[in-house]
Amino acid sequence: MSAGDKLFGRLLNRHPPAHQEIVEPPSVLSVGLQIQLDAQGRVLHLSGPLRHLLAQQAPAAQLAHLLDFLLPHCSLAIEGPPADWRGQLLDLDFYSLSGSPLHLRGWVQPMADTWLLQLLDIGDLLLERRQARLREQCQLLAAQIGEQLRLCSLMRLPDVLVDQLQSLAQRFHIPCIALALLDEQEGWQIHQHYAGFDTPSLWHNGQRLGTGLDSLDGSTPHHLNLAEHPRLQGTFGNTEGFAVPYHDAQGVVAWLLCGCYTAHQQAPDVSERDWLQFAAALAGPLLARLREHRHHLQLERLESLQALLGTGWWEMFNDSEVQLAPSLARALHLEQERLPLQDWLVQVHPADREQLHSRLQDLRLEGAPLLLCVRLHRDDGDTPPTWYRLQGQALGVGNQRRLVGFMLDISDIKNQEQLAAAAHARLDNLIASSPAVIYVQRYVEGALQPTFFSDSLQPLLGWTLADCTGAALVDRVHPEDRERYFERTRLLLREGSVRARYRLRDSRGNYHWLLDEARLLRDDLGLPVEAVGLWLDVTDATLAAEHVKQSEERYRMLVEDSPAMICRYRPDLTLSFGNRPLATYLECSPEGLPGVNLGSWMSAQQRESFLQRLSQLSPEFPVSTAEINLQLPGREHAWWVWSDRGVFDEQGRLLEVQAVGRDNTEVRRAQQQLTQSAKMATLGEMATGLAHEINQPLNVMRMAIINVLKRLGNGDLQIDYLTDKLNRIDAQVQRAARVVDHMRVFGRRSDIEQQPFNPAQAIDGTLSLLAEGMRGKGVELRVSECAFAVQVRGYVDQLEQVLINLMVNARDALLGKREADGQFKPWIAVYTERDEHAVRLWVEDNGGGIDPRLLERIFEPFFTTKPVGVGTGLGLSVSYGIVQNMGGTLSVRNSAEGARFCIELPIVHDAQITSDARPA
């Protein structure tokens, strides 16, 4: 073995160095570095080509130790003297002139009393090994990245991609890293990015980068200097960057972008191949998963679309079998997707089955395209048929030819076409038989020329289309209406639609009033094309309208000249019309009445009662009549007899009220005067009884005063006796005062408006005036206490007047009977009863009753059974009117012992009492 083989064998550690004899140092060595050392390891001599690379070229005057030539970490490999290094391979790193370590490998061998250290340069060997190790790590990292992206779920794919970008950034100290993909507009877009902590974020997800990356070569990574690539300044900002492409069969489809990063300085050992491998590990699985996802979505959309449209593909094999899409098989209610051709044809209606079979044969044998609309065969004949559009074609040639196509549910379209055809036929028939004339006028050089008239023109006017061309149509327009006809044409061309009325002469010379309605049709540029319209004969309607107008004029004159007050108003009492008498009465003009509320002249109680009466109107009972009271400014209360008639819509809602009224103020005042006169007459008749009622307490007081004076004269005066007499005098004064006060209340005029009150008040007032007088004349009063509290509406003094009249009449009859029979015991009974709706007051006596022949006339005015000069004959008549005015009835019948009068009054419930009229 030569010396060189031994040298490289030791260098590569193939043959462990054996015990060697001491040799002399070679005179010339052309490779490596030789260092002669003493026994302590101090350097005696340097030789070999590598000595020129050492930082320390030769030993100084004072010998330096070998450790002074080595980097600090190598001291562990050469501890002790050179004798301890024998048999070992030494990897030593020396200081070099370039500043980078000089990697040497060698061994020591004895030489006389010194040692020779033989060293060879292994820097290239270490670099290759380091690069191989780094390449292996990069391959493993790329494989892990690709595996993670391939195995994760689609939902976690974005998060996993960010994790892999983060691991890559942390492995190679990249501040910002992102993956850019092509978007739908063929531009680049950031799909995902990662930025380290406290580093600028150059990108955000979804950011569009434009097409600047297209200026780079897509085969190698690029160290980007923005001065050389100004188009990428918007992508990398003002920093340097590193871009790695990924391309497939379609070209460059992704870029791995590293911002604020110079790969040749910060990762010099990572080759371009490794960077391309990282880009492929990230982009390849990602694009594959995204394409798979898009394909899956497209399949889902296609399946959903087929299900929604009732469509699907089909493929026929030879001439016996057919394959259907799953959605189409479900739509046809088939259990199998692949079935015999005959089973498929059975689904088609017999009327279309043979034609389909023939067209399929032409497609199979001759390749003729198939396009046919067929109906499905259904047992249910009531439902509309299901239509399918069936289309197919032959793909390929020879044995490779395939017959494919699709079926589309067009039932809605076909059914709509059939309905449209039926509607079109009905429209044609309607146009032909319509009394209206439908016409079309073509726009020619600024004029409208008739081009079509419906068949109804001949029966209506006796014309044909030829009779209406040119100026012939204008000649048949009534001379007074020709300017209106020309204006109609100008308005139609200007506005696009028109509605006019004019007269046309028919073939017999008679004129017809025609209603002309037309619309102008324009093209896409807005230019007129034609006018479509109709003529409707409105002669009868026009003449009838003239008659109606004349009738309305006569009606208006009648209404205005009528002495009665006539008006119309809405349900809220807002006037919409009022004639002149009403305006004169209300002291305003007829034009000022609309919008005025009729309730403004009523009190709250009257308005509430008025609205309640209107609410009871209905289509079955639309009329209501009542007497209303108004408070006119500067006048006394006015009384009108008012009649309302409601106008209702189809749902029975009240729309308007038509009313007629007449002034009843004088009649009402006469009635009030008559009532007041009757009241005063009653007071006159009761004068004797009232005098007795007042004389009685006066006599009591006189006797008490005489007794007191007598005691004073005798000097026998006791305080208790005097107090008792004074109290008796005071009680009698109060009794006389009550009688006088009640006479004053009873004698005054009644209130203008009715008020709610308890009828027991009238009974108490009547008894306060008559009780003592009755008892004084020997008439027994049988009065039952009223055990209930109800409210009626009216005048309490007038009801009291009625009760007084009834009891005075009964008293007179009883006293007359007692004159004839001294043993007769007269009595008068007063009692009450009620039900849900009314209260009844009964006045009964035992005077023998009334002659049955006189019962029907007893309430007539001036009718009386008393002697001449006694009574006026108005008491019962006025009483009857009072009760009737309060909404009640006054009736009489004979009982077993005498006459029995009944006053029945309607009860006013709490909901019907307004706040103004509610008693305290």
For the stretch 72-112, pLDDT in tens is 776 666 788 888 888 888 888 888 887 778 888 888 889 88
- What is the CATH code of the structural domain delimited by 434-543? 3.30.450.20
Domain ranges of the chain: 3-121, 128-297, 310-416, 434-543, 562-663, 672-912
pLDDT in tens, 422-465: 887 777 776 666 678 888 989 988 888 888 888 888 888 888 88
Mean pLDDT for the stretch of residues 799-805: 82
Please compute the mean of the pLDDT values over residues 331-350 and round it to a whole number: 86
**387 vs 269, higher pLDDT:** 387
Looking at residue 500, its pLDDT comes to: 92
Is 253:245 a contact under the CB 8 Å cutoff? no
pLDDT band at 869 (very low <50, low <70, confident <90, very high): very low
Which pLDDT score, from 0 to 100, does residue 919 have? 37
Kindly tell me the number of DSSP H helices and DSSP E strands found in the chain. 22, 34
The pLDDT of 893-907, averaged and rounded, is: 90
Most confident of 93-97, 220-224, 613-617, 715-719: 613-617
Mean pLDDT, residues 16-32: 49
> Quick one: 310-416 is in which CATH superfamily?
PAS domain (3.30.450.20)
The pLDDT-based confidence of 819 (bands split at 50, 70, 90) is: confident
Question: Does the pLDDT of residue 691 top 60, yes or no?
Answer: no
Residue 375 makes CB contacts below 8 A (sequence gap 6+) with 348, 349, 351, 352, 385, 386, 387, 388
Query: Which segment of 466-475, 571-580, 717-726 scores lowest on mean pLDDT?
Result: 717-726
Burial of 323: CB neighbours in 10 Å, binned 0-12, 13-18, 19+: middle
Asked whether the domain spanning 562-663 has the same topology as the one spanning 128-297, the reply is yes
| Model pLDDT, residue 518 | 92
Closest CA to 74 of 105, 39, 28: 105
- The answer, yes or no, to whether residue 364 has pLDDT greater than 80, is yes
The CATH-assigned architecture of domain 672-912 is 2-Layer Sandwich (3.30)
**Per-residue pLDDT for 589 more than 50?**
yes
> Residue 801 and residue 903: Cα distance in Å, rounded?
12
pLDDT tens digits along 395-423: 877 777 788 888 888 888 888 888 888 88
Better pLDDT: 732 or 513: 513
Question: How far apart are the C-alpha atoms of 18 and 9, rounded to whole Å?
Answer: 12
Least confidently predicted of 553-562, 685-694, 732-741, 757-766: 685-694
What share of the chain has pLDDT > 70, as a percent? 81
Q: For position 707, what pLDDT does the model report?
A: 72
pLDDT digits (tens, 9 = 90+) for 271-325: 888 888 888 888 889 888 888 888 888 777 777 766 666 678 888 887 788 888 8
CATH number of the 3-121 domain: 3.30.450
> In the predicted model, what is the mean pLDDT of the chain?
79
Stretch 608-637: mean pLDDT, rounded? 80
Look at residue 827 in the predicted model and tell me its pLDDT.
92
The per-residue pLDDT for 264 is: 78
**By mean pLDDT, which of 18-32, 256-270, 490-504, 581-595 is the weakest?**
18-32
The tens digit of pLDDT for each residue in 152-211 reads 888 888 899 889 888 888 888 888 999 999 877 768 888 888 988 778 788 888 888 888
Lowest model confidence (mean pLDDT) among 13-17, 384-388, 551-555? 13-17
- Topology at the third CATH level for domain 562-663: Beta-Lactamase (3.30.450)
pTM of the model as a whole:
0.38
* pLDDT band with cut points at 50, 70 and 90 for residue 675: low
- The Cα 13–Cα 16 span in angstroms is 6
- Cα 730 from Cα 119, distance rounded (Å): 157
* Confidence grade of residue 12 (pLDDT, cut at 50, 70, 90): very low
Where does 524-633 have alpha helices with state H?
539-561, 580-585, 604-615
The pLDDT, as a whole number, for residue 818 is 86
The pLDDT value recorded for residue 915 is 35
* Bridge partners for 312 per DSSP: 407
Does residue 672 have a pLDDT over 80? no
CATH superfamily of this structure's domain 128-297: GAF domain (3.30.450.40)
Beta carbons within 8 Å of 794's beta carbon, 6+ residues apart: 754, 755, 757, 882, 885, 886, 887, 888, 905
User: How far, in Å, are 132, 258, 275 from residue 269 at the CA level?
Assistant: 10, 17, 11
